[in-house]
Amino acid sequence: MSSVTSNIESTLHEDRVFAPPETFSRGAHIRSAEEYERLRAEASESPDNFWARMAEELHWFKKWDTVLKWDAPHAEWFGGGKINVSDNCLDRHLETWRRNKAALIWEGEPGEQRTFTYLQLHTEVCRFANVLKRFGVQTGDRVALYMPLIPELAMAMLACARIGATHSIIFGGFSADSLRDRINDAGCKLVVTADGGWRRGAEVKLKPTVDEAVKETPSVRTCIVVRRTGTRVHIEAGRDHWWHEVIETVDAHCPAEELDSEHPLYILYTSGTTGKPKGILHTTAGYLLQAHLTTKWVFDLKDEDTYWCTADIGWVTGHSYVVYGPLSNGATVVMYEGAPNYPEPDRFWRIIERHRVSVFYTAPTAIRAFIKWGEQWPLKHDLTSLRLLGTVGEPINPEAWMWYREIIGKGRCPIVDTWWQTETGAMMIAPLPGATPTKPGSATKPLPGIEADVMTRSGAPVGPNEGGYLVIKRPWPSMLRTIWGDDERYRATYWSEIDGVYFAGDGARRDADGYFWIMGRVDDVINVSGHRLGTMEVESALVSHAAVAEAAVVARPDEIKGSAIIAFVTLEGDRKATDGLKEELRRHVAKEIGALARPEEIRFSDQLPKTRSGKIMRRLLREIATSGGVQGDVTTLEDFSVLEKLRVHEEE
């Protein structure tokens, strides 16, 4: 069914429903649909009291004076409170039996293993916090982390949080230019990196990229380097220091700073519809509260669990569900550095079997790859330790959901499909595994305290099963507070598209049972393997090449990645369209942004189809990229012949 007003059409039809297994519900934190409804009702009748009651789960140096001050679109949560995230993730467990419980179990791609108990992790974090202080990092300063997935990354995050420095993690796949821009945008004083990391048997060098980036980052005074791969790297005297050397120069005494509830915890850059990434700002108390609660509710996390979220910490999923959420719950967290198919396509199942993982959280793109590699790989392993499966990052197609349920979960494990964003900080729409019946492909219902809705572009509600725009109608504790250095853009992007509500940028519909079905981005953002990329970013990178006059980038559905990037390019007059140039342009994008943005395909054309007002008609390009033909309305086209030429290229 579709709605004329919203222009979003939903075609997915799915009738299967899976009730929570009785044995699961019996032991769950939230045991029934009634209990969930009670929490929802409590939260919607008296949100402040509800969140205040929930906030009692955290450790506070001083309790808050007010729960929420909302001066739209700016929120202050738990004003007057004093709290520290690192204290909540570490110190408070030291007073309990968890002191010697495993906090992190890490596996490197080549196979080494390192385990840190809560006490050991605390010691390492305190020492690194003292290193940061030694190099002049103070409360409020920004620190960039550009690292592989190794324990030191979690330590560096918690050390920043401990002293009130704001971290900005830049995923290790980003290029020197991307790194430089992000460091400069936040004015980072110090960079923590490593010589390199391992991925699919090869070394991914990081330090040379940092060397390149910091040539043009005047704010950076110090660079701390973890020795991970042992490769030779340049050490700039006075600026660069080895982690293992400086850590020896400090002691392990470093009390956690008593920070304001709204103290900036981290900045994380994400793609938007313009070329410049947005520095999403998250603060302390509200963020921690929602990361903590959703980890407990949605993963139904218990002390006996061994929990593994496969996300890289460079993305928000790693922030909230590898580090802050699980550690504040005192969980045992598995971390794995490398690729899922190294040395063979059963690495994940090997890890689950070896560590007896009970709660497993991964992405639909990974599940689709596992399906392609074949079920013989998971079937080789004992996966009986699993009791709950989760997914995040993009819509999961029902058939992949069913495969996950049958082949990995053996029909026993509930699946939690969790919808949220970098901006929301924590899960927003997701099942409670002991309470919510699930439907393959639906993230089910909003969590208690979250008021989600589907609306038309003009803000009118839509009926059951009509497509529309996903919005959030009330502020929530872990919401982004602003875009770093650009509050106007924050207002314009999230709070001005539809009056009075948060605009998520996703299309959705709600069925007759109130279940949400997320349909993907409605803006110019492409979701490649669960990673967000703005079409504008890729276009800007292409146009920065001397041969390119104009470029338009669209998404084409891809079996494994969800979407693949297809670029339409017009060349400068004197340049020849050759396969060599295509390759060069693909490399150029990888250099400008990072390998994850490399277009799958480049198509040359003399002109791009445009409306009379000069806007590129991406809808047509999308159609051409997907099917090779065009059926849509073309009366607003500037030059009809352009379409013919694009089709001719398709046939070549």
Shortest CB 506 distance to ligand WTA, Å: 5
Cα separation, 467 vs 197, in Å, equals: 43
Q: Measured at CB, which residue is nearest to ligand WTA? A: 422
CB nearer to ligand WTA: pick between 167 and 603? 167
CB nearer to ligand WTA: pick between 132 and 367? 367
- CA atoms lying within 13 Å on the CB side of residue 521: 24
Shortest CB 450 distance to ligand WTA, Å: 14
Under 8 Å CB-to-CB from 230, ≥6 apart: which residues? 195
Q: CA nearest 465: which of 537, 542, 519, 428?
A: 519
Cα separation, 476 vs 607, in Å, equals: 46
Cα 405 to the chain's mean position, in Å? 23
Shortest CB 430 distance to ligand WTA, Å: 8
SS3 220: coil
Shortest CB 441 distance to ligand WTA, Å: 9
CB nearer to ligand WTA: pick between 284 and 527? 527
Shortest CB 403 distance to ligand WTA, Å: 16
Under 8 Å CB-to-CB from 344, ≥6 apart: which residues? 377
- In sequence order, the β-bridge partners of residue 309 are 361
CB 32 within 8 A of CB 20: no
CB nearer to ligand WTA: pick between 403 and 604? 403
CB nearer to ligand WTA: pick between 334 and 533? 533
Angle, in degrees to the nearest 10, between helices 47-55 and 33-45: 110
Q: How many CB atoms lie within 10 A of CB 463?
A: 12
Residue 604, judged by CB atoms within 10 A of its CB (0-12, 13-18, 19+), counts as: buried
Q: How many CB atoms lie within 10 A of CB 491?
A: 15
Under 8 Å CB-to-CB from 148, ≥6 apart: which residues? 172, 194, 196, 197, 198, 204, 206, 228, 337
Shortest CB 271 distance to ligand WTA, Å: 9
Cα separation, 423 vs 27, in Å, equals: 32
Shortest CB 429 distance to ligand WTA, Å: 8
Under 8 Å CB-to-CB from 376, ≥6 apart: which residues? none
Interface positions with ligand WTA (CB under 6 A): 270, 315-317, 392-395, 417-422, 443, 504-506, 518, 520-521, 527, 532
CB nearer to ligand WTA: pick between 128 and 321? 321
Shortest CB 231 distance to ligand WTA, Å: 30
CB nearer to ligand WTA: pick between 84 and 391? 391
Shortest CB 517 distance to ligand WTA, Å: 9
Residue 588 φ then ψ, to 5° = -60, -45
CB nearer to ligand WTA: pick between 88 and 421? 421
Shortest CB 270 distance to ligand WTA, Å: 5
Sign of CA dihedral 268, 284, 422, 440: positive
Under 8 Å CB-to-CB from 63, ≥6 apart: which residues? 80, 81
Q: Which two tokens stand for residue 358?
A: 């009970």
CB nearer to ligand WTA: pick between 126 and 265? 265
CB nearer to ligand WTA: pick between 207 and 531? 531
CB nearer to ligand WTA: pick between 396 and 548? 396
Shortest CB 315 distance to ligand WTA, Å: 6
